[in-house]
Structure 1
Amino acid sequence: MTFTVLTAEFMHESNSFSRLRTGLDSFRADTLLYGDDAVARRKDANTELAGFMDVARERGWGVLHTVSAHATPGGRVTREAYEHIAGAILEAARESRLDGILLGLHGSMVPDFADDGEGVLLARLREIVGPDLPIAVTLDLHAMVSADMARDAQIMVSYKTYPHIDMRETGAHAARLLHRTMAEEIAPRTIRAHVPMLDEANAGRTDIPETLALYDRVRAAEAGGLLAVSVNAGFTGADVSCVGPTVLAVHDSNDPAAGQAARDVTRELAARIWNGRRNRRSAFLDVQDAVAEALTFDASEAPLVIADYADNPGAGAYGDSTTLLKALLDAGVTGAVFAPMVDGDAAALLHRHAEGDSVTLDLGGRHDPAFGGGPLRVSGVIRRLSDGHYVGDGPIRGGLAHSFGPSAVLEAGGVQILVVTETQQMVDLQQLRAFGIEPTAQRVLALKSMQHFRAAFEPIAGKVILCDAGGLATPQAHRRPYTRVPRPLWPLDVDFEFTADVGT
């Protein structure tokens, strides 16, 4: 029997503290593709859609792909953008006879009008297709999974790696479970446990032994017969009612023993997350200590990588913090790269000049000087002007074309600054090589990223350090004014107890 499956990708991690909004132009700048065009451009890369299509070909599905939409993390998604993209999915569901629905979602989307963008989408789909049509969903490891989401999607499968390198694998996992459901081999249900924390102690880092152990337990539970088990670390940048880590276990509801196993593993893992809440392994240097390391580091073998953690565009920060850059310049650090500085106005000004011109301009700090400093007056020489296009070749973006928009390399003192228009974090070596910068030839690489940079840059690094330069994604959670999150909540509150409970 040939099954007809509706597929879509709609992904955004929304930082509700950002002064900006994520509109349709933000999706267009990253990924906003429809139908066959989306399939053609994403089916051979490390994407959820590629995993969907792998299984579709194996199983002979008829696939109706509606839209692939992804925007760099940022402020809340505008109603216009949400309704446009969700509308394409909902319209296809209304007009088609379907055997199943397969969605690539993030799990931390916050639109202007709701706390839970994915929950709203799934509820609207249920109104159209009824309670029984199987819906399978993939999620980012940093999803905030609401009870509504677990109610309306029978199948939920999250990434198991951070840096995220298993998108295609996750897509295929969800697709295989959907096929078995449509063939009436299984009747899946999702069990959910929520932990009252902003996020897991190490933000889900799977290169940290204590956190990796959670995912080892996940894999063991799947090998023991559960259909899918996910640990979602949560996202600290959202001031919403469903904030916090969750554990999901998908089981065959036809098997009472599987249901009990799902409840047991969700309780166990939720308790382990809670009990490990004080065991943060990441060490954050202040700016002066990071710069002191840059001044003395022996880069004869490989460069020092400084992660500008708090200004990570991948967590919805602005990418225009100037504090670390100013300190590097003031200290006279040489052989350094600072990337990216997200400042479209500065990029446009630089493009009014020619390569080799000397310029003086204000750089960065345009959105909220309280988080990472105000504009920085910089004088330098333009080394490269570019349209910003590059094609990734690393574990995360290999084969995917992206663009920083109009971009320039400005050399100021001993620092090459990659000035860009479109907001992105550093995850791929081609984000430097495409602009004439060879990362392995540098003494210091100051990169705006929390963790994803490790997939491509850690293998070439002599040492990696994390710097909290005060940006919007600072690990100092008390600097963000939470008002909507449920209380008590660790670490905003510390004197309370928690016992894991589960629900569908």
Structure 2
Amino acid sequence: MPRNILLAQFMHETNTFCARTTGVEAFRGFYCHEDGAVIPALADTQNEIGGMVEVAREHAWSLITPVATFATPGGPVTQAAWESFGERILAAASTADSLDGVLLSLHGAMVLEDGQDGDFRLVRELRERLGPQVPIVVSLDLHANLDPDMANHAQAILSYKSFPHVDMRATGRKAAQLLADRLDGSQRPLATAVVKLPMITLPEGGRTDRTPMTSLLALAQRHEAAHPEIVDVSLNAGFSFSDVPEIGPSVTVVHHGAPALAQRIAEEIGKAMWQARDAEQEAVLSPETAACVALAYAPERQGPLVLADLSDNPGDGAYADSTALLAALDHAYGRAKAPPETLFGALHDPQAVEAAWQAGEGQTLEMAIGGKADPHFGGGPFIATVRVKRLGDGKYRVESPMWEGVEQSCGRCALLEIGAIELLVTSLATQALDLGIFRSLGADPAAKRVVALKSTQHFRAAYGPIAGAIHLVDGGGLTSPDLSRLTYRRVPRPIHPLDAEATST
């Protein structure tokens, strides 16, 4: 008889400082596949589900797939969304004739409206329904705020090793293979050791293209290679924009019956993470300085200048409607004889999208763009006369190494012309982590002199190969790296960098 495996995905990174809650429509708007639609939609993509399905087919498992869904980061997940997706997964576990194992693709930083850790709640309630014998394996995002107690309910917990997250499928495959090894005869013990750090996050959110994360990952890989009983070592950078008791970096070490060794490795890597807590970070420009850099950028350079406003990144739960960088570029370009052709986006403004659709392609109108969610974060509305260049439904298939093959949507959208700037406005807040979000409207980022994005790091997977230069910008949005603008009330204290007296022990 084939093994019966419950496979599900319910992912959200919750910014508790964001006033916009994340409901059912946010999940269905980005991507949401249910029951028999899950495998056809995701099996051949660079999504965790793709890697899990690959192993399932190798082992001829019978898969129960209630839902696979992801919403753009934002405010707390509503009760209705939990009932639609979390309870759907729990119901599938309860009604299955028998289950041999569970594979879950979670984020690790989901917060519900009532303040609960949504990921931990799901795993805990699954364990309560299934009893102690059914193995549960969980894959997480590198930015998980992991509750260490999850390891008491799931046999294996492992995370991405890259940021941008280009190893989603590989992580899903490894998670499924751990479950297969547990089920197929050996019955070796499978457990996870966890060490948590009293920090908000790792430097630069744990980006894996530079130190200190590169050296920390190398240390983890050496331990995996040296000890056959250690089957995975994962480093979670934590998610800094979530005011929760579970906040902060962690180390997970999955092992076969070697708890003392796994704990020692987790503590050694945790110590190294703590020592790297104040590592130098990449310079971040003001919008005005970024505009000057854009004007001076030599057109003969290979590839566009990419300006990434990390402070208004919807991938971190920002509103994606900050106007500070847009206003600075427009002001600087107005004084230039030959302003650079610039592509800007995606800026979240459903009202602007609606106005553009009512006007129609080719029409010119004055509108107030952005700055509507909270003008304190990145400026108020930007008033401009625009030409509606192109309208679209916002659907595109990702070509970037991150989520390659996955169909996503930024909702109904419009490409607007403001002088030398082409501005993408969307009805769903969406990080421009792929070129397709622009190309679906006929705009080619590679052909522009300047590309301005609302992103922190994920953009590098798609835009890094075409960029002539990259600069980070702080436009004063909700996810500015200046954490002094936020008030934390629920995090454990003392904690670095909020408290000078914080220690690792």
Q: Give the TM-score category using the shorter length.
A: over 0.9
Are 1:262 and 2:258 counterparts?
no
Q: Which residue of 2 aligns with 1:326?
A: 327
1:258-337 equivalent positions in 2, closer than 5 A: 258-300=258-300, 301-332=302-333, 333-337=339-343
DSSP-derived class of the 1:361 partner? strand
CA–CA distance in 2 between the matches of 1:210 and 1:236? 17
DSSP-derived class of the 2:192 partner? strand
Shift of 1:340: 0.7
Is contact 2:344–2:452 with CA below 8 Å preserved after alignment?
A: yes
Q: Which residue of 1 aligns with 2:421?
A: 415
Amino acid at match of 1:105: L
Q: Which residue of 2 aligns with 1:142?
A: 143
Are 1:44 and 2:44 counterparts?
yes
Shift of 1:184: 4.8
Shift of 1:207: 0.3
Are 1:350 and 2:356 counterparts?
yes
Are 1:242 and 2:242 counterparts?
no
Amino acid at match of 2:13: E
DSSP-derived class of the 1:126 partner? helix
CA–CA distance in 1 between the matches of 2:397 and 2:58? 28
CA–CA distance in 1 between the matches of 2:503 and 2:93? 44
1:154-193 equivalent positions in 2, closer than 5 A: 154-185=155-186, 186-193=188-195
Question: Structure 2: 5+ residue runs without aligned partners?
Answer: 334-338
Shift of 1:218: 2.0
Q: Which residue of 1 aligns with 2:495?
A: 489
Is contact 1:234–1:244 with CA below 8 Å preserved after alignment?
A: yes
1:354-365 equivalent positions in 2, closer than 5 A: 354-365=360-371
CA–CA distance in 1 between the matches of 2:445 and 2:84? 40
Once the two structures are superposed, what CA deviation does each residue of 1:13-39 show, in whole Å capped at 9, x if it has no partner? 000000100000001101221111011
Farther-moved stretch of structure 1 (349-358 vs 395-404)? 395-404
Q: Which residue of 1 aligns with 2:444?
A: 438
RMSD (Å) for aligned C-alpha atoms: 1.1
CA–CA distance in 2 between the matches of 1:119 and 1:426? 29
Amino acid at match of 2:194: R
CA–CA distance in 1 between the matches of 2:373 and 2:276? 35
Shift of 1:128: 0.4
DSSP-derived class of the 1:351 partner? helix
Q: Which residue of 2 aligns with 1:502?
A: none
Q: Which residue of 1 aligns with 2:220?
A: 218
Amino acid at match of 2:312: D
Shift of 1:216: 1.8
Once the two structures are superposed, what CA deviation does each residue of 1:313-366 show, in whole Å capped at 9, x if it has no partner? 000001000010000001114311111111011101100012211110000011
Shift of 1:223: 2.2
**Number of residue pairs the alignment of both structures matches:** 495
CA–CA distance in 1 between the matches of 2:163 and 2:107? 14
CA–CA distance in 2 between the matches of 1:403 and 1:183? 39
Shift of 1:221: 2.1
Amino acid at match of 1:269: I
Shift of 1:210: 2.0
Once the two structures are superposed, what CA deviation does each residue of 1:201-257 show, in whole Å capped at 9, x if it has no partner? 12111101321111122222222321111100000110000000000001112xxxx
Shift of 1:384: 0.8
CA–CA distance in 1 between the matches of 2:242 and 2:200? 9
Amino acid at match of 1:212: T
Q: Which residue of 1 aligns with 2:402?
A: 396
Is contact 1:21–1:75 with CA below 8 Å preserved after alignment?
A: yes
1:72-83 equivalent positions in 2, closer than 5 A: 72-83=72-83
Amino acid at match of 1:370: H
CA–CA distance in 2 between the matches of 1:401 and 1:31? 7
Farther-moved stretch of structure 1 (176-185 vs 52-61)? 176-185
Is contact 1:5–1:98 with CA below 8 Å preserved after alignment?
A: yes
Is contact 1:208–1:281 with CA below 8 Å preserved after alignment?
A: no
CA–CA distance in 2 between the matches of 1:207 and 1:7? 31
CA–CA distance in 1 between the matches of 2:55 and 2:303? 41
Are 1:233 and 2:234 counterparts?
no
Are 1:380 and 2:386 counterparts?
yes
CA–CA distance in 2 between the matches of 1:299 and 1:66? 51
Amino acid at match of 1:289: T
Shift of 1:260: 2.5
Task: Provide TM-score, normalisation by structure 2.
Answer: 0.96
CA–CA distance in 2 between the matches of 1:179 and 1:214? 28
Is contact 2:104–2:137 with CA below 8 Å preserved after alignment?
A: yes
Q: Which residue of 1 aligns with 2:464?
A: 458
DSSP-derived class of the 1:145 partner? coil
Shift of 1:372: 0.7
Q: Which residue of 1 aligns with 2:89?
A: 89
Is contact 1:115–1:242 with CA below 8 Å preserved after alignment?
A: no
Amino acid at match of 1:122: V
Is contact 2:30–2:410 with CA below 8 Å preserved after alignment?
A: no
Once the two structures are superposed, what CA deviation does each residue of 1:284-338 show, in whole Å capped at 9, x if it has no partner? 1111111111110113221100001100000000100001000000111431111
Q: Which residue of 2 aligns with 1:115?
A: 116
CA–CA distance in 2 between the matches of 1:397 and 1:298? 33
CA–CA distance in 1 between the matches of 2:220 and 2:129? 33
CA–CA distance in 2 between the matches of 1:87 and 1:199? 30
Shift of 1:114: 2.9
Is contact 1:336–1:446 with CA below 8 Å preserved after alignment?
A: yes
CA–CA distance in 2 between the matches of 1:60 and 1:218? 32
Is contact 2:304–2:466 with CA below 8 Å preserved after alignment?
A: yes
Is contact 1:302–1:460 with CA below 8 Å preserved after alignment?
A: yes
CA–CA distance in 1 between the matches of 2:282 and 2:298? 23
DSSP-derived class of the 2:359 partner? coil
Shift of 1:478: 1.1
DSSP-derived class of the 1:487 partner? coil
Is contact 1:201–1:273 with CA below 8 Å preserved after alignment?
A: no
Q: Which residue of 2 aligns with 1:475?
A: 481
Question: Structure 1: 5+ residue runs without aligned partners?
Answer: 500-504
Task: Provide TM-score, normalisation by structure 1.
Answer: 0.96
Is contact 2:26–2:71 with CA below 8 Å preserved after alignment?
A: yes
DSSP-derived class of the 1:209 partner? coil
CA–CA distance in 2 between the matches of 1:126 and 1:391? 36
DSSP-derived class of the 1:352 partner? helix
